[in-house]
Chains A and B, each alone.
Chain A
């Protein structure tokens, strides 16, 4: 029995060391994010809109939005995409086997005609049934048989004729100046191959004519927790990782890629649950293997607004899918892990993703189980368990509040002081229950990968549409 307690104690030591090492890591990344954002803040508004907007030197962009049963929001989001401020851009909507009125609505609302448009590239995709185009040739709708998000994105890329492609979610809203901002790293440095913008939570904001007109904190606690999570992930983690050129994830909701590089990498991986993560890792891999000078960048100013789940059921589905996708991508590229050939990506970015983002929930859940069991059996004192819990909560609170403050010190999108107060409150409360349940879901995601449970082709959550989305 003594040997058993000894082993359990060692496991607990490992868990405690892991928990605080990971929190320490977050703390360092958050601090790095803060200093980088501060250094960037002074230059981000430096270029006025007009010279860029009217310049003939700007690279053209194709926005590619896969759509699957999006009748609630497709017309508005397409209109919003067409109205983006940019000198030359086209919108390619890929209707991926929708069974609702998505295609009909697009044809009717934008007066599309059946076009003879041909693919220009040869990424392998499912069969395309037809192409429809608007008369000003700014909107192309590709109607194809259902093949999933990656397949649709690849089909869209095949039809794109521009040097840059921007995969976006058709149920998200881009701010009108998003393209002008997200293209900036490509203009500043020719070695840039991909750029990601920030995804923000639209719940609680006022949306009019496809644009967010008033930014506010969401009313429900569950969505507030997600606002804090998004801020933590984007302003802390991604800013810092981008600074070290080891950014592994450009959100599928909004990114900008060099088309030739995506085609060289054979496009998005069909069947992947985290096609965005997988592609970025592959771009790193190819660039590093070929010893190229390249940059994959995150910029915090071009905003894409997205609706987050407001029920536990939908949130659970989303988190399990993310976790599965992350683990699958990591497994596929396991050869890069701790491999010095891949530089900072292999030696820092990948271990960070694996240990903190993917395996973190396993360790956290194990810690909870052992602590509770230890308390019940009596080999852990109540004081020690309480101290462990308090320490964990305090660290979590610190990281979350820091994320909210990062927003306040840099981008400052929430104008009202009460919004800031409510988000700081949520950053504290999320440590009691939400964080633990989230860890459980993600643990379940890992479990499903191990059990090789069948994948859903479109991991979509039910949307309410954007209007009215008011506080």
Chain B
């Protein structure tokens, strides 16, 4: 798990302080015990002293931990006891016929279990119940509490608060999208999208290239409901961008969504680019291209690319799109390429209907290395039966 720069500084500052205290202790005990004559007697009190001080601290910590754990344990048992009542009361109030005063009392006296259950309700119900929950969140002071919690140093508290504020349609500060900690940026972006803000998809799309793959996966998922809007207005621009990171992030969105969203001149936008980008575009050629010919041409080009490493993904793309015209190139690949590429070609041929399978059978009997054809044919038959 990545640690932010500010946390990194805090970690080293804490360690430096601890080591300094410890070194101070060493010096003090050494000075006090420096009069002893026997060598071992000279060092042992020093060492014992060094052990005793931190041990006492650790023992105190241990006692406090035991107490804290017991308190948490009891609190968990209590929460388990009160949870059914919270659930029932909240359910009744949210459909308009419960005891609002009792609910208020529960929210004030059992804050933690109440907030957990409230969050569950908020994320599970839509429509009228959700509207009532939004009103309740403000009425019971939860919204205010969450607004404060987004400044918490505990990320989990911050995350829950952001998500809940998004669910109740509360405005999210757009500055959080530029927060130095990636996780906070991502949570803020998701909350912003959930809040229904009209320019949220555009803002979140723009921040995609600067995130790690983990962040991009999360954002791609949150952007999914806005896919038509993103594709129509921003995606072509992203793919045509001169910034490789923007192109990659845009292609990843298409791949994550797996939706048929034709983009004008899609293949032209990726053809002739850096090979890494063309490879990233391969799995989504069938989703983004306006015509089959346009996509097929790009696959042909890559099947003939000098670097063999490109052939395996190209063969897979040919199979996914069912480009039967690529069969001669696949046969050539099966016969001449290394194991990974040859197997990919064989698998692609196995998916090309009877023509591909017949060719594979011929390979099994006539080729000097029939193993890849045999494996692909066998796996295809097993998959069919399965």
Contacts and interface: CB of A to CB of B under 8 A. Distances in A.
A222 B371 CA distance: 52
A104 interface: no
A461 interface: no
Interface stretch (B42-50, B112-120, B291-299): B42-50
A289 interface: no
Contacts of B14: 31, 35
Interface string B75-117: 0000000000000000000000000000000000000000000
Interface stretch (A43-51, A314-322, A463-471): A43-51
B261 to A, nearest CB: 15
A51 B221 contact: yes
Contacts of A9: 38-40
Given A39-B7, A116-B371, A387 B44 contact: yes
Which bracket fits the contact residues of B? 35 or more
Report whether over half of chain B's contact residues are helix, strand or loop; otherwise say mixed. Answer: helix
Interface of B: 1-4, 7-8, 10-11, 14-15, 18-19, 22, 38-41, 43-45, 47-48, 50-52, 54-55, 58-59, 61-62, 65-66, 69-70, 73, 153-156, 159, 181-183, 186-187, 212-214, 216-218, 220-222, 252, 255-256, 258, 283, 339-340, 343, 371-372, 374-375, 378-379, 382-383, 385-386
A-B CB proximity, top 4 nearest: A42-B155, A187-B214, A51-B221, A391-B48
A295 to B, nearest CB: 10
Interface string A247-258: 000000000000
Interface of A: 9-10, 12-13, 16-17, 19-20, 23-24, 27-28, 31-32, 35-36, 39-40, 42-47, 50-52, 54-58, 113, 115-121, 133, 135-137, 161, 184-185, 187-190, 243, 299, 301, 380-381, 383-384, 387-388, 390-392, 394-395, 397-398, 401-402, 404-405, 408-409, 415-417, 420-421, 424
Contact of B40 (A116, A161, A380): A380
A46 B375 contact: no
A386 B35 CA distance: 19
Given A47-B214, A57-B220, A424-B62, A13 B40 contact: yes
B69 A46 contact: no
A402 B216 CA distance: 38
Contacts of A57: 213, 216-217, 220, 252, 255-256
A161 B255 contact: no
Contacts of A137: 379, 382-383
Contact of A184 (B1, B10, B43, B340): B1
Contacts of A17: 43
B1 A185 contact: yes
A278 B33 CA distance: 44
Contacts of A243: 3, 11
Contacts of A190: 213
